[in-house]
Structure 1
Amino acid sequence: MAVLGLTKARSMGPVADAVERAGGSPARVFRAADLPLRLIEQPERFILLRDQLRLLACAAREIGDPALAARLSMEAGVPGLGALGQSVLSADRLDAAIARTNGMMGRMLQSSTRLELIAEGEKAYWTYRVTDASDVGRQMNELLALGYMLDLLRRFLGPGFTPHRAAVSGAPVTGRAAVELALGAELSRHSIALLSFPAEHLCAPNPRRLPRMPAPDMPPAPIADDLVALARHLIALQLLERRPSLPALAGRLGLSQRTLQRRLGTRGITFETLLRDVMEEEAELLLRHGQLSVAAVALELGFADVAHFSRAFRGWKGMPPRAWRRLMLAQPKPPAP
């Protein structure tokens, strides 16, 4: 199976806000992209990169804004990248900030993309490549990335900074004038997306350096090349909206149902086993950390009623969900670091 790119759902909320401000319907946009609207509430979840791009395309059509991707990243800026943004903005110089971005992006925010800084003589080139197997929405992803990259450069070099060159790959940019206005830079085409600027700027100090933060937790590398782990992840996403199904999972992975079943079988697992394991994990999470009642947890997981959920949970844990929750809450919490 080709490697599929993953990205955090951080852009879901800003997309919905932009659509609503323009008089569109976020619910309609998410339905068109076949994504649960509740992703807005869970920005740290990974989703397929192609799903993010489909959502952006649906949103741009909904409100008639071809520059939406560039506008979103410029408005959110580096702070919108969460822990990654905080770490980057605590760097003392621009070259250190770019190095942190390049080194942490794939593990913390988005896989199947590659950022590189190349210094050649008096010029520096900051490049961005999409390595996802799908060609759908590649240029839109590049425009989203260029917005964040430009925002970082301007935080060090001033709001009036203009790169020597800003380029994207692929066909001519739709709505180029609007996109250039959003980015504050003229666009050209190249084999890869890039920004070029004087290499001497790499030594620029950070004028508004954030306090140095503890190194952010580096989660395991995204699971896009592990079929079983990726399938488990996508099943958990389906639970946000409906009961997961084999046809829906196969469609998300770009496989036929028969092929998916066969590939899972070679790993000694079935869809039903995956679904059971994911539902058990999600039930644990909701009961241990959430404030939902047992009835609400049952509803979240797609059970017809509490009785069905309680029977399933007893099979997983050997006790009813209420008893398990009491047991977990009674355990002493670990001391603060």
Structure 2
Amino acid sequence: MTVSGSGQPMVTSGYGRSLLEVLRDSGRDPASICPPAWVAELESPESARVPLREWLRILESVSVALGEPELGLRVGASYVKLRHMGVLGQAVMSCATLEEGLQLALRYQRLHGDVAEPRVEVRGEQTHMSWVWPHAEPAPPLMVQLMQAARVTYVRWLTNRPDWRFDAWFDFEAPASTAAYSALFGGELRFGQAESRLVAPAAYLRAPIISADGEMRLRAEAAAQSLLKELAGETEFLRQLKTALTQRLAVRRVALEDAAAAMRLSPRALQRRLDGEGRSFRTILEEVRQARATHYLRDPVLSLAQVAFLLGYTEQSTFQSAFKQWTGESPGAFRKHLAAQGESAHRPTNG
């Protein structure tokens, strides 16, 4: 058995090790519940990533063995740590504010594995933190519990604000008892929602991160960029898919069915190929849009509305929101930085 292949969705091995810690803290031998080979390989220092589906099966097995249907809450709150995120965790911990840290985490999420695609959106006086499960099968409730609990715990720890409360929405029905949920999140609970998310005051985003370190952030982000490039090696299939999407952006024909037709595949065949690559169609479409956005924004003749149209968006505001999630800054700010760089490059030097 291997836990480091790249042909299927993966997660960092820290997720796997967290389950080993849970079992040992509960007085259970991990090898009595998990496959011994899985345990041995996870404990190897060379282990870096594990197959997502395999990890989800083990998570379910541990939950049943411990008789703990809300195990995801405990794992997310107490066992999944920022240190499990490697250089990405270091970079986030070194940011100046919570907003800066969350935006950086969005940019380098792929280093964290293929667990979910996070989103952060400000709506008036509220911040909505959601995440998209990019796989065909719905996210199991245990996984939803874990993701929600981990994010709340990260935010409180980074800002040293254990008193902060969060409204928590879940895409599954309410359990018989919600006491554990109330104790962890502290705010309003909503079950049976269209998607899972956390809602908190927008002011939280301005809070300083207590471990901020500008120099460390630069070093950690440089390492994160290097790792991301290593993961960016693309197959011919992915290059063809991105070309097909690029050609169809402006005419807004970028659904999976449109891409499949362009590549002379059935939608089901295209989805199977994506599953084999361990990628989601949504993520690839966003990567194409981001690449084209940075290209178009370098052309001062194009207005932001025109750029949005060329990227297949019906509303400029949707494009602006997406761009900020990709890069951490607005399209307008990106253009100002480009202009400043251009002025600097042409400014005469002294001496």
User: What TM-score do the two structures reach when normalised by structure 2?
Assistant: 0.56
Note if contact 2:97-2:209 (Cα within 8 Å) is conserved in structure 1: yes
**Which residue is equivalent to 2:103?**
99
- Give how far 1:149 is off: 1.1
**Which residue is equivalent to 1:212?**
217
Letter in 2 for 1:212: R
Note if contact 2:12-2:85 (Cα within 8 Å) is conserved in structure 1: no
2:92 equivalent to 1:88: yes
Q: 1:112 to 1:152 in 2, by over 3 A?
A: closer
> SS state of the match for residue 200, structure 2?
strand
Cα-to-partner distance string for 1:199-230 (whole Å, 9 max, x where unaligned): 12211111232443512232344899999xxx
2:43 equivalent to 1:40: yes
Letter in 2 for 1:115: P
2:62 equivalent to 1:53: no
Q: 1:13 aligns with which of 7, 10, 17?
A: 17
Q: 1:152 to 1:131 in 2, by over 3 A?
A: same
Note if contact 1:66-1:174 (Cα within 8 Å) is conserved in structure 2: no
Distance in 2 (alpha carbons) for counterparts of 1:91 and 1:139? 31
2:209 equivalent to 1:200: no
Q: 1:151 aligns with which of 150, 153, 161?
A: 153
Distance in 1 (alpha carbons) for counterparts of 2:173 and 2:235? 29
Distance in 1 (alpha carbons) for counterparts of 2:173 and 2:38? 27
**Which residue is equivalent to 2:306?**
none
Note if contact 1:12-1:40 (Cα within 8 Å) is conserved in structure 2: no
Letter in 2 for 1:94: L
Distance in 2 (alpha carbons) for counterparts of 1:191 and 1:223? 34
Letter in 1 for 2:131: Y
Distance in 1 (alpha carbons) for counterparts of 2:40 and 2:181? 27
2:116 equivalent to 1:113: yes
Describe how 1:232-311 pairs up with structure 2 within 5 A. Answer: none
Cα-to-partner distance string for 1:162-213 (whole Å, 9 max, x where unaligned): 11x1122123347643344455555422211211111122111112324435
- Give how far 1:110 is off: 1.6
- Give how far 1:153 is off: 1.8
Cα-to-partner distance string for 1:254-283 (whole Å, 9 max, x where unaligned): xxxxx9xxx9xxxxxxxxxxxxxxxxxxxx
RMSD: 3.2
2:66 equivalent to 1:63: yes
- Give how far 1:50 is off: 1.7
Distance in 2 (alpha carbons) for counterparts of 1:30 and 1:222? 32
Distance in 2 (alpha carbons) for counterparts of 1:24 and 1:122? 46
Q: 1:47 to 1:64 in 2, by over 3 A?
A: same
- Give how far 1:123 is off: 0.9
Distance in 1 (alpha carbons) for counterparts of 2:236 and 2:14? 23
Distance in 1 (alpha carbons) for counterparts of 2:235 and 2:196? 24
Q: 1:141 to 1:178 in 2, by over 3 A?
A: same
Q: 1:78 aligns with which of 52, 61, 82?
A: 82
Note if contact 1:124-1:196 (Cα within 8 Å) is conserved in structure 2: yes
Q: 1:201 to 1:128 in 2, by over 3 A?
A: same
**Which residue is equivalent to 1:25?**
29
Q: 1:162 aligns with which of 139, 160, 165?
A: 165
Deviates more, 1:123-132 or 1:171-180: 171-180
Distance in 1 (alpha carbons) for counterparts of 2:119 and 2:169? 15
Note if contact 2:169-2:197 (Cα within 8 Å) is conserved in structure 1: yes
Cα-to-partner distance string for 1:33-62 (whole Å, 9 max, x where unaligned): x84542232575322212111111111111
Note if contact 1:157-1:201 (Cα within 8 Å) is conserved in structure 2: no
> SS state of the match for residue 63, structure 2?
helix
Note if contact 2:168-2:185 (Cα within 8 Å) is conserved in structure 1: no
Note if contact 2:165-2:185 (Cα within 8 Å) is conserved in structure 1: no
Deviates more, 1:62-71 or 1:87-96: 62-71
Determine what percentage of the aligned residue pairs are the same residue: 18
Aligned length: 224
Distance in 2 (alpha carbons) for counterparts of 1:21 and 1:226? 46
Letter in 1 for 2:137: S
> SS state of the match for residue 131, structure 1?
coil
Letter in 2 for 1:133: A
Q: 1:224 to 1:90 in 2, by over 3 A?
A: same
Q: 1:127 aligns with which of 126, 130, 137?
A: 130
- Give how far 1:30 is off: 1.2
Distance in 1 (alpha carbons) for counterparts of 2:121 and 2:8? 27
Q: 1:170 to 1:225 in 2, by over 3 A?
A: farther
